[in-house]
Every structure is written in structure tokens, then in C-alpha cells.
Amino acid sequence: MNKRRPYVRPMAGWWRKNPFFVEYMIHEGTALFVAAYALILLTGLVYLSRGEAAWNVWLEGLKNPWYIAFHWLTLAAMCYHTYTWFKIMPRTMPPVIVGGKRLPDFAITGSGLAVAATASLAMLGLVWGMAR
């Protein structure tokens, strides 16, 4: 008789067993905030399509302190999401060769973050200028 009886360990709660996995779940979880913010903007668009009065109702709703607090929370989550996104970017793309040498990971992550920051500031400046 075969005495082999390989034991398969359960996977339940796997992500709590290692700090790396906990961090992974947090950075994946921040995607929900990204989705939530997209939904908020989409709702705004729907209200806008119903005319000026509806649009003003939506704008008024945004002034609720809870809503503002949620926006700050979303902003923090978005920033963290952006950071982790570009942190993993070097692992997801082919090597970039510059002058015969491979571009180090921090240069790829750094340029990603710089582009994201520049684009966000440009967008902020544009919208700010339009709102005035």
C-alpha cells in the first residue's frame, strides 16, 4: 500500500499571514476609492444632463462636510494607489535600455510619479483657471 498522503494546507486568511500580502490587499483596496470617485463624477454628469437646477442640487450636495471628508479620504487613497502603481511598474514592463545600460527601477518609478504629479497639477491649474 502507498503510504504517501500529501497534506494540503488551507488557504483561508492567506493575506493576513504576511505583512507583504496585507500591504498588497491595502493597495488593491484603494482601487475601490478610485472607482467610488469615478461614480461620483458620473453621477454629476447625469445631474448635469438634467439641466441647471439638477446640477445645482448636486453641487449643493457636495458641500456636505461628510462628503468633503470622504473626498479627502479618497484623495489620500488615490495618492497611495498612484505610489504603489508606479512602484510595481518596473516589474511589469520590458527593460528600458538607455545608452547601452538598463534603466534602474527607481528611475522608472520616479518618472512615473513625476508624470502623474505634473499631470495632476496641470489638471488642477486648468480647472482652477476655468472656475474663476
Partner 1 sequence: MSENQRIIEIEVLRYNPETDKEPSRQVFEVPFTDDMSVLQGVQYIKDYLDGSLSFRWSCRMAICGSCGMMINGEPSLSCETFLRDYYPARVRVEALAHFPIEKDLVINMEGFIEKLESIQPYIIPKEERTLAQGEYLQTPAQLASYEQFSSCINCMLCYAACPQFGLNAEFIGPAAMALLHRYNIDSRDAGKAERMELVNSEEGVFNCTAVGYCSEVCPKHVDPANAVNQNKTNSAADYFLRFLTPKGGAK
Applying CB under 8 A, which residues contact partner 1?
3-9, 11, 14-15, 17-18, 20-21, 24, 28, 88, 90-95
The CA dihedral of 37, 121, 73, 79, to the nearest 10 degrees, is 100
Please, which residue, 44 or 90, has the CB nearer to partner 1? 90
C-beta of 66: minimal distance to partner 1 in Å? Answer: 33
C-beta of 82: minimal distance to partner 1 in Å? Answer: 15
| Distances from the Cα of 81 to the Cα of 56, 64, 95, 115, 119, angstroms | 31, 25, 23, 15, 16
Please, which residue, 15 or 80, has the CB nearer to partner 1? 15
- The distance of Cα 84 from the centroid of its chain, to the nearest Å, equals 8
C-beta of 17: minimal distance to partner 1 in Å? Answer: 6
The H-or-E segment that residue 76 falls in is helix 65-92
Please, which residue, 6 or 51, has the CB nearer to partner 1? 6
